[in-house]
Structure 1
Amino acid sequence: MREFLAPGRPDRLGVAVSGGGDSTALLCLLADWRAEGGPEIAAVTVDHGLRPEAVDEAAAVATLCARLGVDHAILRWEGWDGRGNLSDRARRARQSLIADWARRQGVTTVALAHTLEDQAETVLLRLARGSGVDGLSGISPRRRFLGVEWVRPLLGVTRQALRDDLVARGVPWAEDPSNADDSYDRVKARKALDTLAPLGLTVARLAETATHMARARAALDEGVADLARAACRIAAGDVIISRDRFDPAPEEIRLRLLAHAIRFVTSAPYRPRFEPLSEAAAALAGGGRRTLAGAFLSSAKRTIRVTREYKAVAGLSAPVGMVWDGRWSVSGPGGDGAEVRALGPEGLRALGNPRDSGLPHATLLASPAVWRGARLVAAPLALGGGDWRAEPLFDEESFISSIFAH
């Protein structure tokens, strides 16, 4: 674990601790490292408000942290409305809460306690869903997301080894009853691994597969980055792809680049699913148009353009000076009472001749504009900005570097 965390070691390391055996062991190991000259530690526990026992479990983590001399915070999520996928909603909320906490604490890196079994279960579940190289590469040891570096130093360690360590220390932990609930796919995968082990499909073998696939994924990412450098440019928030470089490239590289461009203009956490992505690519090859995952894709003789879809941003607003659509910062004179919204068809009608901007209709529709109520104040990208400026929070360099951020 020390070897994993040593490169680029932060001065202060965050650690997410639920109170279960894995995260409790990680907390103790990090405290050992701190005592040997490692970084300072700050721990955080998220109470999702879904189980009454969670309050006591968070309190137990607080007690252990006090004993170890580790700063600790408890965050509570109250956003569950009973709709949608609970596990996914809870995970997203947990990530967001921890990322906000980390920024407030000046913590740039947060350690998570995923284990060897977590890796194997993930690979098995993704295999069942027909995943390709990316999915079968499993859980990434490092990932930059929401402005935080998330690290998993225990992916090569078994749950049993961690619990043995806690027993030796005399440190108790909590068991989440959902870990034995067969209604969860991950619990089914855990039990299936016991059945598959005699065939050689063991936890260690599946984790080894993830390592092989991660290497393949890294090689593919390099190929995508090379094509992006040669074929792509960023203009007015759009990704413009040169077809003379794009069309001859291998299909896998083309699909990956197109998926990355869609994620880039939409700030989506995941790439589009394979089937609609491949259908969109086929349509673009024939000069067609498609909307996909919040992006508008259009093809011309020489270029493919990936634009933010207007419908995806039609309801978004932000005060002047705040980030709009995760990508734009708009500033200018007299911003009191004004807000940033998409230019949209109403804004286009209010402009004299938006075609003077030289931008496509779809790009202008989804571009940031300044409004006071129903009155258009400025449309910076449509040459109707005056002293107003719309600054993108991205460029060609960030487009390339984000290819490698998993």
Structure 2
Amino acid sequence: MSGTKSLDQRFADAMGQLLGPDFPTDIALAVSGGGDSMAMLTLAHNWAHAWGVRLWVVTVDHGLRAESAAEAAMVAEECTLLGHPHAILRWHWDGQGNLMDAARRARLSLIDRWRGGLEHVLMAHTQDDVAETFLMRLKRGSGVEGLSAMRASLTVQPHAGDMHDMAPVDVCWTAQPPMPTQKGGGVSANSNGFRLLRPCLDMTRAELRHYLRTLKGRWVDDPTNEDPTYDRARIRKLLDLLGAEGLGCDTLSDTAHRMSRARQALHARARDVAGRIVTEECLNGLGTGALLIDRNGFAETEEDTRLRILAESLRWVASAEYRPRAQALEQLAERLLSGGQGTLHGCDLRCLGNQIRVGREFSAVSAPASMGQIWEGRWQLYGASAKGASLRALGSDGLKQAGGRPEGAPAARLLYPLPAAFLGEVLVACPHLDYGEGMIREGSGRYSSFTASFERH
């Protein structure tokens, strides 16, 4: 059916499915200058003109190639011609970790900090991207979760920091996005993240470039897409060979979407079981950020569901974006089933009586946070009395200052990751130990509860 429709109509249909029938007044687009994103910009321009939606375009300049600044400037020129405000956000890699993963994380973080009150961000992932990702994950030995197609709509959680953290040279915009509205308690409307939308997933790269050529549009080709040192570039070449054998983008993409259906069913089962066997640990009436899993229920659950519950538990406790690798997860589950313990994904797991406790690993907790910042994806300082304080893990010294481990609490070392407010080295508040006055509350971080975490996926 899609082959009989124009790309403009297919784009309009996709936007209707993702957002309709009541479209927001303002939408953001992430445009790199490549063929896919420039085609999406043109499609969105035509669609927005018909529906009265205002577009805000952003380009993240990763600064990894000499040409990147000129490419960002080209996007800015096109936006000026089309009449859309445009921003360039420049990223400076610190040389740490995997470059491609760091660049992807930086792109989402910068967009999140730039967007103000914009709640939807369009990205131009295509059917080719679905097929390439499927093969890359197949190469890594991924299961149903990893082989599932990227979703057309998902929530991206807010990242630490705001635009004030960026030097003036890092931001160049023609207009500032609208500021978020304020909800009750002074919490901004953008605190729960933004919706990343992919309206071009049923379109191929070739179709989008043909669309641009027909309209005499501009775009740039990133040479890294042809660089064999990158996995995706090698997979892209392999797809040409596989296509000749009937394993083209359409076939692989269809398989990935079938995997998505299977993932949804398996996830629903895991969510149902988790609701019965997983509870949030509380101390002094407050959630500690740790989880308790019923050991018998965990052991009686089928392996796939068991691993999904364990993976989601680790993600929630660590406020992590991704689940751990399958092999490490399987090994940890085996140790827990035999009554053992272990650490994974920044979490400490151990069997305590008839429960498995999943808590934060003290050595992996976040650096101290100041007023207005979210610490460990959950807590923040508040109130006039917290001025000048830092929010960090309680630690052994803080526990001593609080009077030691209270009766009925977990072992002392399991209390070390608790949130605590310090003035210098002096403990001034730790609500979980009923020490000090307030000063710490759960903020609008990554997840409000374990149940909410499960509902998001």
Structure 1 length-normalised TM: 0.94
Match of 2:36 in 1: 22
Does the residue aligned with 1:15 lie in a helix, a strand or coil?
Answer: strand
Match of 2:175 in 1: none
Structure 2 distance, partners of 1:155, 1:49, is 27
Match of 1:303 in 2: 355
Structure 1 distance, partners of 2:319, 2:297, is 25
Q: Deviations over 1:256-299 (max 9, x none)?
A: 11110110011111101111211111111122211111011111
* Structure 2 CA distance for partners of 1:251 and 1:362, relative to 1, 3 Å: farther
**Alpha-carbon distance, 1:398 to partner:** 3.7
Q: Deviations over 1:25-55 (max 9, x none)?
A: 0000001111211522111011111222112
Match of 1:196 in 2: 242
Within 5 Å, give how 1:172-191 maps onto structure 2: 172-191=218-237
Q: Which residue, 138, 153, 158 being the options, matches 2:199? A: 153
* Structure 2 CA distance for partners of 1:215 and 1:82, relative to 1, 3 Å: same
Within 5 Å, give how 1:7-406 maps onto structure 2: 7-8=18-19, 9-78=23-92, 80-102=93-115, 104=116, 106-146=117-157, 147-235=193-281, 236-313=288-365, 316-331=367-382, 334-356=385-407, 358-391=409-442, 393=444, 398-405=449-456
Structure 1 distance, partners of 2:453, 2:373, is 22
Structure 2 distance, partners of 1:294, 1:246, is 21
Q: Report the RMSD for the aligned CA atoms in angstroms.
A: 1.9
Question: 392-401 vs 195-204, which deviates more?
Answer: 392-401
* Structure 2 CA distance for partners of 1:33 and 1:75, relative to 1, 3 Å: same
Structure 2 distance, partners of 1:94, 1:392, is 24
Does the residue aligned with 1:254 lie in a helix, a strand or coil?
Answer: helix
Does the residue aligned with 2:435 lie in a helix, a strand or coil?
Answer: coil
Structure 1 distance, partners of 2:202, 2:315, is 30
Maintained 8 Å contact 2:226/2:233: yes
Maintained 8 Å contact 1:284/1:304: yes
Does the residue aligned with 2:64 lie in a helix, a strand or coil?
Answer: coil
Which structure is richer in relative contact order (CA contacts within 8 A, separation 6 or more)? 2
**Alpha-carbon distance, 1:11 to partner:** 2.3
- Number of residues paired by the alignment? 402
Structure 1 distance, partners of 2:110, 2:149, is 24
Maintained 8 Å contact 1:233/1:396: no
Instruction: Give the AA of the match of 1:4.
Output: A
* Structure 2 CA distance for partners of 1:10 and 1:363, relative to 1, 3 Å: farther
* Structure 2 CA distance for partners of 1:28 and 1:288, relative to 1, 3 Å: same
Instruction: Give the AA of the match of 1:97.
Output: L
Does the residue aligned with 2:48 lie in a helix, a strand or coil?
Answer: helix
Q: Which residue, 5, 8, 14 being the options, matches 2:15? A: 5
Maintained 8 Å contact 1:110/1:150: yes
Structure 1 distance, partners of 2:344, 2:319, is 13
* Structure 2 CA distance for partners of 1:109 and 1:129, relative to 1, 3 Å: same
Q: Deviations over 1:4-42 (max 9, x none)?
A: 222433321111111111000000000111121152211
Structure 1 distance, partners of 2:270, 2:413, is 26
Maintained 8 Å contact 2:152/2:201: yes
Structure 1 distance, partners of 2:369, 2:437, is 20
**Alpha-carbon distance, 1:392 to partner:** 6.0
Structure 2 distance, partners of 1:205, 1:351, is 61
Maintained 8 Å contact 1:242/1:304: yes
**Alpha-carbon distance, 1:399 to partner:** 2.0
Structure 2 length-normalised TM: 0.84
Question: 84-93 vs 155-164, which deviates more?
Answer: 84-93
Question: 392-401 vs 45-54, which deviates more?
Answer: 392-401
Maintained 8 Å contact 1:19/1:61: yes
Maintained 8 Å contact 1:288/1:298: yes
Does the residue aligned with 1:67 lie in a helix, a strand or coil?
Answer: helix
Instruction: Give the AA of the match of 2:436.
Output: G
Structure 2 distance, partners of 1:294, 1:111, is 32
* Structure 2 CA distance for partners of 1:167 and 1:254, relative to 1, 3 Å: same
Does the residue aligned with 2:155 lie in a helix, a strand or coil?
Answer: strand
Structure 2 distance, partners of 1:195, 1:19, is 27
**Alpha-carbon distance, 1:332 to partner:** 5.1
Maintained 8 Å contact 1:234/1:395: no
Kindly, what percent of the aligned residue pairs are identical? 43
Structure 2 distance, partners of 1:240, 1:83, is 34
Structure 1 distance, partners of 2:124, 2:380, is 36
Unaligned runs of 5+ in 2: 1-10, 158-192, 282-287
**Alpha-carbon distance, 1:401 to partner:** 3.3
* Structure 2 CA distance for partners of 1:396 and 1:145, relative to 1, 3 Å: closer
Does the residue aligned with 1:334 lie in a helix, a strand or coil?
Answer: helix
* Structure 2 CA distance for partners of 1:364 and 1:330, relative to 1, 3 Å: farther
Structure 1 distance, partners of 2:200, 2:446, is 35
Maintained 8 Å contact 2:314/2:345: yes
Maintained 8 Å contact 2:126/2:203: yes
Unaligned runs of 5+ in 1: none
**Alpha-carbon distance, 1:196 to partner:** 1.7
Does the residue aligned with 2:199 lie in a helix, a strand or coil?
Answer: coil
